[in-house]
Amino acid sequence: MPDTTTLAQAKPAKASVARTEHFDVVIVGAGISGIGGAYHLTTQSPGRSFVVLESQESFGGTWLTHKYPGIRSDSDLYTFGYRFKPWTGKPIATAHEIRTYMNEVIDDNDLARHIRYRHKIISASWSSQDNLWTLEGVRTDTGEAVRFTANFLWMCQGYYRHDEGYTPEWQGMESFKGRIVHPQTWPEDLDYSGKKVVVIGSGATAATVIPAIAEKSEHVTMLQRSPTYFIPARNANDLADTLRQLEVDETWIHEIVRRKILHDQAVFTKRSFEEPEQVKKDLLAGVSAYLGPDHNLDPHFMPSYRPWRQRIAFVPDGDLFRAVRSGKASVVTDEIEKFVENGILLKSGKVLEADIIVTATGFHLNVMGDIGFAVDGKPLDFADTVTYRGMMFTGVPNMVWVFGYFRASWTLRADLVADFVCRLLGHMQEKGARKVGVTLRPEDKDMKLLPWIDPENFNPGYLMRGMHLLPKRGEKPEWQHTQDYWGEKNIFPAIDLDDPAFVYG
C-alpha cells in the first residue's frame, strides 16, 4: 500500500494527523456493498491500490449492527448473496449466517489486509487542482485522527445511521416505568422472560422480533398504526433442494435458483401493479393459511395500500402468525395517545400494559454516512445534485454511491454498480483521464427535477422523513434510480462511457 508521506509534506497536515496515506480507490463501509466492492476491484481491476474504511469493529454493516433476537434477512440469500459466491443454506438467513458467508468472501480473496476497522470518516473534500479526494476521520478506538487521499471514492456506507435508530417523540415517555428499547441498539442484558412486551411497528423488524421473544415473554403485543403485507412461506427453496438431490454443482444451483427467484419476483411485481386486488387476495390467503380459518384478517392483517408500495417482508415458516395463533402474541391496530407509567394509552382509550416497549419504528436515513462533503472548498449539499442512475451526482467528480433495490435484493445492484465502477476506472485509465463527472446534457436542461423516489411508487417512513436530504432525480431513466433490476442488468453493462453525460478531465 503506497504511503504518500510526500503528499502530506507538500500540504500542511493538521498537527494531530501523523501522516496521509494515498490509495487509488477508497471504499467507505465494510457491509455487503463494500466487501463486494473490494472483491470486484481485486478481480476486475487488479493492480489498483485500495482500502476499505469502516467505522465499526468488524465487517457486516447491517448484519453486525443489528443484534436483536431473531435478526435475519427478509429477502432470500440466493439473490441477497453475491453473484459470484454460491449460497448453500436456507433462503432466509440469520445475521450470523450472512456474516459467516461474508467472512468466507474475505478469506477466500485475501481481502482482510485491505480493510481498516474503527476508522470513522468525518469529512471528504475534493480538490480539482489535485484531482484528489481527501478524507479525514478518526479512529474510534484510540481517538487518533486519520487522513487519506484517493483518486476515486466508492461510497458503500448504506443509507441509514448505524449508531441509533429512529424513535418518534411521544408524550409521557419519561413517565413510563419500564424499559424502552430500539431494536437497532438492543441491550445485551435485556431480560424479557415473563414480561409483558409491546412492540411498536409492523414492518420486517417487528415481524422478526415478535416470534423470537414470544415464547419466553409473558405476552407480546404488536401495536401497529396500520397493517402491513407479508409473505409467509416455508423457509426452503424446492428447486434448490431438487438440484442438490441431483448433485448439480453449487455454482449452477446458485445461478439457476437466482434466475428462477428473480423471474418469479418480476412476475409478482408486474402483477401487483396490473392486478393489485388479486395480488392482495393471494397475500391475505397466505396469512390466513397460518392464522387458521377462524381468524378474521380484518382489521389487523388487511392493509389499505397497494401491495409493493412498501417492501414486503418474507415471514419464514409463518412464525409471526404461528405466535399469534398460539396466543403468545397478539396485534392491536390503534394510535398512541401517550405513554403512561404502566404502558401505552391508546387513542381508543384503552391502556396497553407493558414492562418493556420495543420501538420498531425504523431508521434515521442519512446521506453518505453523515460525512461532511466539500468540492473545491465549498460545502456540498447532495440535495442540490441530480443523480446519474442513482449512483453518480452532478458536480461530484470521481465518486460512486451504492444504493440497492427496495423491491429486490440490495446486493443485485451492488454487483451491477461494482461492474460499472471497474469499467469506468478502466476507461479513465485508457483515456488518461484523472477526473470523471456527470453533467446534464443540452437535451436534459429543461428536464423536470423530482425527489429521489416517487412516493406514489414506494413510500416507507424513513424515506419520506429524509427525502429532502437526497439527491434529485430527473424524468429520464438515466437521471434516476429506476428500482428496476430487470432493466438495469442489461442497461448497466451497455452504458456508453463516452456519452456526453460523462465529462472527463
Ligand X SMILES: Cc1cc2nc3c(=O)[nH]c(=O)nc-3n(C[C@H](O)[C@H](O)[C@H](O)COP(=O)(O)OP(=O)(O)OC[C@H]3O[C@@H](n4cnc5c(N)ncnc54)[C@H](O)[C@@H]3O)c2cc1C
Site for ligand X, rule CB under 6 A: 28-34, 53-56, 61-62, 66, 73-75, 80, 120-121, 156-158, 162, 205, 369, 371, 402, 404, 409-410
Minimum CB separation from ligand X for residue 450, in Å? 23
Backbone angles phi, psi at 399, to 5 degrees: -145, 140
**Cα 119 from Cα 28, distance rounded (Å):** 9
Residues facing residue 221 across a β-bridge: 198, 330
Minimum CB separation from ligand X for residue 4, in Å? 21
Distances from the Cα of 54 to the Cαs of 59, 116, 488, 491, in angstroms? 8, 6, 28, 31
Q: Which three cell numbers stand for residue 282?
A: 393471494
Q: Cα 140 to the chain's mean position, in Å?
A: 23
Q: Residue 74 or 415: which CB sits closer to ligand X?
A: 74
- How many helical (H) and strand (E) elements, i.e. helices and strands, does the chain have? 13, 25
Minimum CB separation from ligand X for residue 204, in Å? 6
Annotate 42-64 with DSSP letters as a single string.
HHHSTT--EEEE-SSSSS-THHH
User: Coil, helix or strand for 299?
Assistant: coil
Cα of first residue to Cα of last residue in the chain, in angstroms, is: 26
Q: Residue 161 or 219: which CB sits closer to ligand X?
A: 161
Q: Which three cell numbers stand for residue 215?
A: 415464547
Q: Which three cell numbers stand for residue 119?
A: 476508522
Minimum CB separation from ligand X for residue 61, in Å? 2
Query: Which residues fall within 8 angstroms of residue 491, CB to CB, at 6 or more apart?
Result: 477
Minimum CB separation from ligand X for residue 349, in Å? 34
- How many C-beta atoms surround the C-beta of residue 327 within 10 A? 9
Please answer whether residues 282 and 268 qualify as being in contact, where contact means their C-beta atoms are separated by less than 8 angstroms. Answer: no
Please answer whether residues 176 and 355 qualify as being in contact, where contact means their C-beta atoms are separated by less than 8 angstroms. Answer: no
Smallest CA-to-CA distance from 402 within 178, 157, 59 is with 157
Q: Residue 74 or 355: which CB sits closer to ligand X?
A: 74
Q: Residue 29 or 303: which CB sits closer to ligand X?
A: 29
Minimum CB separation from ligand X for residue 205, in Å? 6
Minimum CB separation from ligand X for residue 374, in Å? 15
Smallest CA-to-CA distance from 150 within 28, 310, 18, 16 is with 28
Minimum CB separation from ligand X for residue 99, in Å? 11
Q: Residue 23 or 502: which CB sits closer to ligand X?
A: 23
Tell me the pairing of strands 387-388 and 392-393. Answer: antiparallel
**Cα 180 from Cα 161, distance rounded (Å):** 19
Q: Residue 157 or 269: which CB sits closer to ligand X?
A: 157
Minimum CB separation from ligand X for residue 139, in Å? 11
Q: Which three cell numbers stand for residue 244?
A: 442438490
Please answer whether residues 136 and 123 qualify as being in contact, where contact means their C-beta atoms are separated by less than 8 angstroms. Answer: yes
Minimum CB separation from ligand X for residue 344, in Å? 24
Backbone angles phi, psi at 288, to 5 degrees: -60, -35
In the numeric block, the cell 422480533 is attached to 209
Q: Residue 158 or 466: which CB sits closer to ligand X?
A: 158
Q: Residue 214 or 417: which CB sits closer to ligand X?
A: 417
CA dihedral 381, 383, 387, 393 (to 10 degrees): 0
Minimum CB separation from ligand X for residue 148, in Å? 11
Minimum CB separation from ligand X for residue 52, in Å? 9
Q: Residue 345 or 358: which CB sits closer to ligand X?
A: 358
Q: Residue 288 or 482: which CB sits closer to ligand X?
A: 482
Q: Residue 53 or 212: which CB sits closer to ligand X?
A: 53
Q: Residue 266 or 340: which CB sits closer to ligand X?
A: 266
Beta strand residue intervals within 156-216, DSSP E? 179-181, 196-200
